[in-house]
Chains A and B, each alone.
Chain A
Amino acid sequence: MKLSTGDRWDLIDKISKETVTFGAYKHTLKDAIGELTVKPMTGIPVAIAIMYGFWSVFGSFAGFFTDGFFVRLFDAYWLPWLQEIFPGQGGWLYAIMVDAGGIESGEFVLSSNCLESFGVLTSGLFVAVGVVLPAIIIFYLMLALLEDIGYMPRLAVLLDTVLHRVGLHGYAIVPTVLSLGCNVPGVAATRILETKKQRFIMMTLLAIFIPCGAQIGIMQDLMPNLMGWILLYLIIGYFIFGYILNKIVPGKAPEFLIDVPPYRRPLLSNIGKKVGGRVRGFFVVAIPFVLLGCAIVGVLYQLGVIQFLGDALAPVFVGWFGVPKETAGPLIAAFLRKDLAVAQLDAISDLMTPYQMITAVVLVSIYFPCVATFAMMLKEGWKELLGALAVLTVVVFAYGGLIHLIGILLGVA
C-alpha cells in the first residue's frame, strides 16, 4: 500500500494524538535563573561575581596552605635540615640540589628561605608542592564545580561576541580557563576549535598571555598587591593581539552552536574524578618539568651562561623594556620556569619600582612558553609552533616596549 504525503501526515497526527501527552510548560525558578545568566545585561554581573568567587576562594585556600603551613615547614625545617646534612657545601652539586647561597665578604653564605636557595630539593620542591599544588587543587576543584553545575556553557554564550572579535568563539573560554591551571591541557583543549586559524590564534594567545597556575600561585604569594595590574595588562594584551592575529591570519572563524544544559546539582563522585585526574596529570607532566627546570637553571647559573646572556642583553632590558639589568637573569631563566623567574624577581624587588616589577612580571608571562607547553605545541605541529614563536617574539618586543612607554607617559617608569 502506498500512502500519499497527506495520508502520511494524517497518520502521524493520529499516532501522536494517541501516544504523545501535550502540556504547557511552566518556567521554574531554575529555568529563569538559567536565562538570566545568559543574557548580557544580567549575565555579565553574574559572571563578574563568579570570577570574584573563583579568585577569592583560590587566594584564601592557596594562602592557607602555603603561607599558613608550607612556608614554615620548608623554611624553618626542611631547608636548614638539608643545608646541614647534604655534603659538599659551597660545591656545584650542593648549589644545584640544595642552596646556591651567596657570597658576603668573600664568605659563602647560606640562604634563609626556599625561594632564595634555588636548589632542586629546596626551591624546586617548595614551588612544586608548597606553592603550586594547593593552587592547582583548588583551581581544578572550582573549575570542575563550574563545569558540573552547568555554568561554563553559559559563560561561553556570554563571551561569544567578544571572542569573535579575536577570531575565536565562546568555547575558546574552555582552553583559556584550563590554561590558567596549566598551559599543557589548555593547548590540548584547543582541538575543540574547528579551524586551523582558530587553533593557531588560541594556541598563540595561551602561550603568550595566559599565566599558568604555578605562576599565578607564586604571584599570589609574593606580590598580591600587584597581581591585579599584571593580570589587567595580560588581558588587554590578549585582546589587542588576538584582534591583530584575527586580521592577519588567513582562514575561517565559524559561528558555533551550543546546547545550553539546565543547571544541575554537581555529583561529588564526578568532581572527585575530574579533580583527581587533572591533579594526577599535573603531577605527571608539570612537576618533573618544575624540578628539571630548576636543575637546568641551576646548572646554567653555575656555568655562568645566564650571567653572560644577562650582561649581553642588559641594554635591551634597560633601554627598551625599562627594567634594571639585574632582571635579565630571571627573564632568561623564565624559559625554563616562569614561577621560579617570578621568585627570582621578587628576590631583587628592592632594585625596582612597583611599575618596573609589573613590567618585569608581564614580560616573564609573555616570554617564551615553559618547556612543557613548548613540547605540547610541538606535538600540535611544528609549523604552528614556529608561527607562534614568531608572533611571540614580535609581541614581547612590541608589548614590552608599549608597557614601558605607558610608564614613561604616566611618569611611573
Chain B
Amino acid sequence: MAGQSPGGTIYFAVLGIITTAFGLADLLVTASGSEFAYAGILVIPGDIFRGGWGGIIVLFAGLFYLSGIRNFDDIHQFAKVAMGSILIWVVAGCDIFAIILESIPSWNEETGPWFNTLPDFIAAYAPPYAPAVLLLPFSLVVIYYIRKRASEDGGAGIYHERNG
C-alpha cells in the first residue's frame, strides 16, 4: 500500500515522469535527425539505434515506473518499478560498455600506438552523457527497496504452515 512506502511512491513517481520525458525527448530528437546537447552534461544522440531504439526503452522504463507506483507495496506492482530500473540499466549499461571499449584502442589505422593515451582514455569518460546514463544513479535506489522488502519477507518464497 502507498501508505507503507510513501517515500518510495513519491520518489518513483518523480523518476517516472523524468524518465518518460527523457524517453520522449530521445524519440523527438531522433525524429529531427540531429543530435541535441545541453549544458555540457546531457547529449541525446540523433541516430536511430541509440536515440530511437534506446529512446523507446527509456520511454517504456518511465511508463513501468508510473504504472508501478500505485499500490507500490504489492509485489506485482513493485516488480514493474524494478523492471523500469532494469530497462534503464540495460540501456545505460550498453552505453557505458561502448564508452569503455571505445576508450581503449587508439583507432589509428596505419601507424602510431595501438592503445589510447592516458589523457584521451580519461577524456572518453567525461560528460556529456546520454539520458539513460544520467538516470542510472537514480534508478539504483530500487536496490534499497528490493533489500528492504527481502529483509521484511525473510527473502523466502514459500511460507510453511503446518496444518494438523
Contact = CB atoms under 8 A, between A and B. Distances in A.
B90 A53 contact: yes
Nearest to A18: B164
A252 B158 CA distance: 42
A60 B48 contact: no
Interface in A95-145: none
A382 interface: no
Contacts of B64: 42, 45
A380 to B, nearest CB: 35
A159 to B, nearest CB: 18
B94 A68 contact: no
B91 interface: yes
Interface string A347-377: 0000000000000000000000000000000
A40 B97 CA distance: 29
Interface in A1-55: 17, 21-33, 35-36, 42, 45-46, 48-50, 52-53, 55
A52 B75 contact: no
Given A29-B82, A53-B93, A76 B149 contact: no
B111 interface: yes
B149 A29 contact: yes
A71 interface: yes
B49 interface: yes
A228 B53 CA distance: 11
Contacts of B104: 64, 68
A90 interface: no
A168 to B, nearest CB: 25
Given A32-B78, A72-B114, A26 B54 contact: no
A60 B107 contact: no
B87 A21 contact: no
B157 A56 contact: no
Contacts, number: 123
Interface string B105-125: 101111100100000000000
A67 interface: yes
Nearest to B97: A60
A34 B102 CA distance: 34
A60 B63 CA distance: 28
Contacts of A81: none
Best-buried of A23, A68, A75 by chain B (most CB within 10 Å) = A68
A254 to B, nearest CB: 32
Interface in A65-91: 67-69, 71-72, 75-76
10 contacts: A28-B157, A30-B157, A31-B75, A36-B79, A48-B53, A52-B57, A60-B97, A68-B107, A72-B109, A75-B110
Given A60-B94, A72-B110, 20 more contacts: A23-B160, A25-B158, A26-B156, A28-B75, A31-B75, A31-B157, A33-B79, A42-B83, A45-B63, A48-B60, A49-B87, A53-B91, A57-B94, A61-B101, A64-B101, A64-B102, A68-B104, A68-B107, A71-B109, A75-B110
